[in-house]
Structures are given as C-alpha cells and as structure tokens.
Amino acid sequence: MQKVKQARAQVARLELSAAQAAVLEGQAHTARALWNLLHAYVTFRQGRLATLKQCDDAIRTARREIDWMRQLPAQAAQAVLKTYRQAWANFFNPDHPAGRPTFKARLRSRPAVDVPQARDLQIKRINRRWGAVNLPKAGRVRFRWTRDLPGVTQGGPAGRITGARLVKDAFGWQIVFRTEITKAVPIAGTHPGPPVGIDRGITVALALSDQTTREHGPWLSGGEREHLRRLEKKSARQRATHTHGQPTSHRLARTYDQMARLRATAKRRAVDWQHQTTTELAATFSMIVVEDLKIINMVRSAKGTIERPGRNVRQKAGLNRAITGQAWGRTVTLLEYKTRDRGGQVAKVSPAGTSQTCHRCGHRDPAARDGTRFSCTDLACGWIGHADTNAAINIRNAAGTAVSGRGDHGATRSAKRQPPRAA
C-alpha cells in the first residue's frame, strides 16, 4: 500500500430561495459575458495574443467602470481568466483533443460560477440530511448532505476541500466540491484478479472476453419516452409560429425545460449504471483492455456538402445518436481511475480488425460477421459464436496474453496471427 493524494469531486443539491437563485443566475451570466469579453480582447488584437497580465489588468478596469460586472465576485472573475487561459493551453497541446476556444452562447452554455477559495465556504453539517455553506453575495445556503466531506466531519475521509463550483442543470443548482483526499491505494500491478478484454457496442453495451456481458435497458420508461416524443412535436409546432430574431416565448421555454428534465433524467440513470458497472469491473479484473476508439471521428455527420451530398444520412444520424447515448469515452474514464485505485490498469489497443478476425485461428474476413453472429470462414476452423465476445477476446489478445473463448480448447491466436499460446 502507498498513500497518495487524489483530487475528487463531490456533488450536492442546493436548496435556494428565489432571491438566492436570482443572484446565482446573475453571476453565471456575468461569468459568461466575461469569458466573451476576454475572448474578444485576446483574439481581436493585432499581433500576438494578450498576456496574462494584460488580461488581468483589463478585468480590473472593467470591474471599476462597468456596474454589472461587479455582480461576479473578484475571485470568481479570476477563475474565469484561469479557465480561459487553460483552454488556450489545451488547444496548443498537440496531445489534447480540445478545439480552439470560442464565444459562449447564452442558451447553449451551462450556467456556472467558481468559488476558488475554500475558506469562504464555511461548511457546517446541520443534521443527518442537510448541510450549510456560504456562497459569495448569496449568503448562507443549505445543501443536501449525501456523503461526508474531508476535513469537515469527524471520522470522515482524510483530506481537505480546495474549492467549489456552482453549476445549474435541468433540476436546479448544484454545488461541486473540489476535494483532495489522502488515501492508501495498492501498488500498481498488485491486483489479484484476472485480465479481461471489453468490446463496447450498441446492441450489447459491454461484451467481455470471459463470455459474459454487461447490459442495460432503456434509460427512459415507455411512458417517459412517449411524453418526450409529444413534447418534441409540441416544440416543433411552437417554433413554427416563432419569429426569427425575437425572444423565445414563455410557452416554448417551458416546453424546452420539460424536455431538458426528461433528458437529464436519462443521463443520470446512464451515469449511475456506468458507475456501478465500472466499480464492479475494476474490483474483479486486474487488467482491462479496451479499443482505442476515435469516437469524435465515428460520430461525424454524413450530410456532406451541396456539391457532394452524403449517403444514408438519416441512418448515420441514428447511429451517431446511439453511439453518443452509450458514452463510451466516459466508461473508459471511469475505469481508468477506479482500476488505478485498486492496483489494476487499463490498456488501450488498436481497434483494427478486432470484429472481423477469428480469435481462434486468426483468419480475417469482413463477411464472417453477420450482426451479433460470427462464423469463421476458414474451413479448417469454422468457429461460430457471439461476434462481440469474439471481438472482446481479440482485444484481450492484442494486449499480449491469450484468453480462452467459447468453443476454444486451450489455445488461441491473436488478430495478428501470432502462434498459439497456452490459455
């Protein structure tokens, strides 16, 4: 065991009065406007980008001369500048997938306000279910107590709170505590469990090389899906009478809010399933091998251009929605830190040929896969089984260790036609 410091986030629901909610709304809109002003100041200059000192001086001048800029606390304004500078650093980093920073639209940005100073929070537990926290310019606010916070309650986890972030979603405002926890974790490579390969899919959410699967049902019930469909049709009718450039009507805004709550419910259920499933996998297996998928490229639109229109656009759009709904990237992110905390590791391998290659003989043929059924076309082999299980075994083999699969008799070959090895 070794003691390490881990940065973690804990989310809690805030109980706000109407006046406090209005204060946070104003701060969030000011933070978004400050981001846009910074972006204009940095990008519309002649020559090089503005330096950190120039941006800081511009913010201080704006807070003195513009009244509504003072709605946002000074520390929160500095946090906006820090986040904006980090966005540019990510963009210039060739190993980071972030794109170029852009302006934030009012209706497409999530309202958020930073509280970078932990000492300003003054957190206290009121009773078993509720705690209280100080928010700048909003006063004392109650929040739902679901987990012990480090450094706040006796007997809680060792560590401290380093700051917080206030975020608004479809259900209201939440506070995200930034914590630094000191925890004893196993040394990497000491996990006693076996290795496993995982194939991420749509029909089968997760197929494992040990011939098991991890699946889930629809995130919304039948009634909820029908309600969402009716709301989407209703919003289309309301948009038909809306004049472009005019403010959105209260009825259309209310419809959008109802749709957002249903979609947020589906996302919460998806994240809950992912957390439970990845926790179980991280506790069971020592090495988890997954494909290094370029998901951004996989969900690109097939619409094309006017000169060269795309083909099967509606089908590709449906496939993109299905891939996005599975949130494959989030699954791997959760697995990475959970396996690391338990002494295991996550390995990524190339996805080339994993679904078209027979794991038993190494023969590769695109025609061998038909939906969820894989039939090896090599007459000397003829293995038949679940296509996702076959892909998961190939994924596991690509990491360097053979795994016995369904119908196997103690020997396998990797997708690269390596010689047989004992299982």
Give the model confidence (pLDDT) of 353-407 as tens digits: 899 999 989 899 989 888 889 999 888 888 899 999 999 999 999 987 544 333 3
Integer Cα distance of 51 and 54 in angstroms: 5
Q: Give the pLDDT band (50/70/90) at residue 409.
A: very low
CA distances from 151 to 50, 122, 148, 196 (A): 39, 12, 9, 38
Taking the model in full, what pTM does it have? 0.84
Across the range 336-356, mean pLDDT stands at 91
Q: Are 32 and 161 in contact (CB under 8 A)?
A: no
Distance (Å, rounded) from C-alpha 288 to C-alpha 345? 6
At residue 25, the pLDDT reads: 95
Q: What's the CA gap between 152 and 148, in Å, rounded?
A: 8
pLDDT of 352 higher than 70: yes
Output the 3-class SS for the chain.
CEEEEEEEEEEEEEECCHHHHHHHHHHHHHHHHHHHHHHHHHHCCCCCCCCHHHHHHHHHHHHHHCHHHHHCCHHHHHHHHHHHHHHHHHHHCCCCCCCCCCCCCCCCCCCEEEECCHHHCCCEECCCCEEEEEECCCEEEEEECCCCCCCCCCCCCCEEEEEEEEEEECCEEEEEEEEEEEEEECCCCCCCCCEEEEEECCCCCEEECCCCEECCCCCCCHHHHHHHHHHHHHHHHHHHCCCCCCCCCHHHHHHHHHHHHHHHHHHHHHHHHHHHHHHHHHHHCCEEEEECCCHHHHCCCCCECCCCECCCHHHHHHHHHHHHHHCHHHHHHHHHHHHHHCCCEEEEECCCCCCCECCCCCCECHHHEECCEEECCCCCCCCEEEHHHHHHHHHHHHCCCCCCCCCCCCEECCCCCCCCEEC
Q: Is a pLDDT exceeding 70 seen at residue 172?
A: yes
CA-to-CA dists, residue 396 to 262, 372, 381, 403, angstroms:
38, 19, 20, 7
2-44 pLDDT per residue, tens: 888 888 899 999 999 999 999 999 999 999 999 999 999 988 8
pLDDT at 46 over 70: no
How far apart are the C-alpha atoms of 286 and 324, rounded to whole Å? Answer: 28
Other C-beta atoms lying within 10 Å of the C-beta of residue 40: 11
Contact 354, 415 (CB under 8 A): yes
Which residue type sits at 267?
A: K
Q: With pLDDT > 90 as the criterion, what percentage of the chain qualifies?
A: 63
Q: What is the pLDDT of residue 241?
A: 87
Q: What single letter denotes the amino acid at residue 198?
A: I
Across the range 133-147, mean pLDDT stands at 94
Which region, left, alpha or beta, applies to residue 89 given φ > 0 means left and ψ of -120 to 50 means alpha? alpha
* C-alpha to C-alpha distance for 254 and 118, rounded to whole angstroms: 36
Q: What is the pLDDT of residues 238-290, one digit of tens each?
A: 999 888 888 889 999 999 999 999 999 999 999 999 999 999 999 999 999 99
Query: For residue 85, what are the contacts with CB-CB under 8 A and spacing of at least 6?
Result: 52, 55
- Cβ atoms of 268 and 175 closer than 8 Å: no
pLDDT tops 70 at residue 420: no
In angstroms, what CA-CA distances link 277 with 62, 197, 214, 215, 420? Answer: 49, 15, 7, 9, 32
